Amino acid sequence: MSFRMGTILVSFVIFCMISFSSGLPLLENPSEGGKIWALLVAGSNGYWNYRHQADICHAYQILHRYGIPDENIITMMYDDIATDSSNPMPGKIINKPGGKDVYSGVLKDYTGDDVNKDNFLNILQGNSSAMKNIGSGKVIASGPYDHIFVNFVDHGSTGLLCFPNDYLYADELMKTLKKMTNDKKFKKLLLYIEACEAGSMFENLLPTNTKILASTASNADESSYGCYCDEPEFDTCLGDLYSVTWMEHLDALTPKKEQKETILSEYRYVKKHVNESHVTLYGDRNNLGSNRVKSFLGSKKKLTEMTAVTNPNLNVIASRDVVIESINKQIKRESSDIKKASLIQTLSYMKKMRQQVDQTISAIISETSHEININILNQRYPVTLDIMPCYKDLIQQFSENCFNPLKNPYVLRYFYVFINMCSMDSINKNEIKAIFKTKCTDKQRQALNIQ
């Protein structure tokens, strides 16, 4: 061996010893000295959405256990579940039946109304000045050699993801990711998105050559699913099927298998075991698919107790039906006549208001010609960047004049209708907005909690 080769080998060994002893996670090319950053987001609030914060707390525990330093993990969650009066385990959150408390130790950087779209985008692109005096002020202060992992869990609809008080639209996310690419804010970026119609955020929008890969719980036009939905004490789902599947898979991996697990092999495992929706990959599969999971989630600093995989396919419910089905189960279990009567009244109200939403949408569509009517209801036009201004405008007008979807999540299932309207040249958009005003009354505008 030449002196030059010997020097290179010794230097590499010393570097690896320093890296492992310091607990820093190694990337695929450790000589570049990159870091791993993670942004974890539960975009909902309210006890019925217990599963979203449970998923994100579980994700935090995985990253923390895998050695990502806390200064590189940013968590956004409303933080109203652990202390909610309905929580049978006050101060704790679990992500599966009989599971460990995943809430303990979670560092919450942004809570309450700080969990919003603008803060999310500013944090993601490292805009520290915009986050001054807000929450912890932490942002993804990444550079050209860094890997970024984004895990977002909440409700969604066609071309958007929900926050408690606003929406993140597909064009806004694409614009931010493009800017980050141009500003060399990362070497590779991986997104895991748990939401209904999550694929519509990326389908035909995310390029395949930008070193960005998105894994979604659902394709562009279907629901995602809650799981562990039959725990009597909780009366809601403890997790989401996609999220629980990828995390419990990692929890159960042996150290040897863990070192070999790639993004693509994990995707295939999750896709195989999530059989209620279509788990889908978008973006740069060629550049990221073969990367090891640890290059985004870190390498374990020490051996930890392995967790047996519970079958999350048991007791699954479509995300948009979690509240209705949970109330149904409560009614069946309730022994008190007074409480049962109250639950029946709540369920009756929700079903009645759902019908009112259905009828309102039908009335709006009926104002178009019969041929267009059929297309609006039965087709799914793709999300494109050029129709997003029209789409946002219709949602805004509908929210102001009819039902507020942020307060009535059931309405989200009809947003594809607005995409269709914006895609049809034969429809006068100003006429549609006028129809909103004539077909809706104060009753619709004042409606609350239509789940």
The answer, yes or no, to whether residue 4 has pLDDT greater than 70, is no
- Range 333-359 average pLDDT: 92
Residue 356 has a pLDDT of 92
The catalytic position among 155, 229, 422, 440 is: 155
The answer, yes or no, to whether residue 7 has pLDDT greater than 80, is no
pTM over 0.75: yes
Alpha-carbon span 81 to 147, nearest angstrom: 31
Fold of 334-446: Topoisomerase I; Chain A, domain 4 (1.10.132)
Residue 31 has a pLDDT of 36
Comma-separated ranges of CATH 1.10.132.130 domains in the chain: 334-446
For 407-450, the pLDDT digits (tens) are 889 999 999 999 999 998 888 889 899 999 998 888 888 887 88
Residue 308 has a pLDDT of 58
Q: Which residues contact 294 (CB under 8 A, 6 or more apart)?
A: 25, 26, 66, 258, 259, 261
Residue 329 has a pLDDT of 86
Alpha-carbon span 379 to 397, nearest angstrom: 22
SS3 169: strand
The catalytic position among 196, 237, 402, 422 is: 196
The answer, yes or no, to whether residue 349 has pLDDT greater than 80, is yes
Residue 291 has a pLDDT of 94
The answer, yes or no, to whether residue 337 has pLDDT greater than 60, is yes
Comma-separated ranges of CATH 3.40.50.1460 domains in the chain: 36-318
- Range 357-378 average pLDDT: 80
CB 276 within 8 A of CB 244: no
Is residue 422 among the annotated active site residues?
A: no
DSSP 351-416: HHHHHHHHHHHHHHHTTS-HHHHHHHHH--PPP-GGGHHHHHHHHHHHHHHS--TTT-GGGGGGHH
Give the angle subtended at the CA of 234 by the CAs of 112 and 246, to the nearest 5°.
75
For 227-274, the pLDDT digits (tens) are 999 888 998 999 999 999 999 999 998 888 888 899 999 999 999 999
Percentage of residues in the chain having pLDDT higher than 90? 74
Is residue 196 among the annotated active site residues?
A: yes
Please provide the average confidence, as pLDDT, over all residues in the chain: 89
- Range 278-289 average pLDDT: 96
Alpha-carbon span 218 to 11, nearest angstrom: 46
Give the angle subtended at the CA of 270 by the CAs of 269 and 273, to the nearest 5°.
90
Categorize the per-residue pLDDT at 299 as very low, low, confident or very high, splitting at 50, 70 and 90. confident
- Residue that has been written with the tokens 């409700």 in this structure: 155
Residue 369 has a pLDDT of 62
Percentage of residues in the chain having pLDDT higher than 70? 89
- Range 383-387 average pLDDT: 97
Alpha-carbon span 154 to 196, nearest angstrom: 8
CATH 3.30.750.24 corresponds to the domain 36-318: no
Which has more confidence, 308 or 114?
A: 114
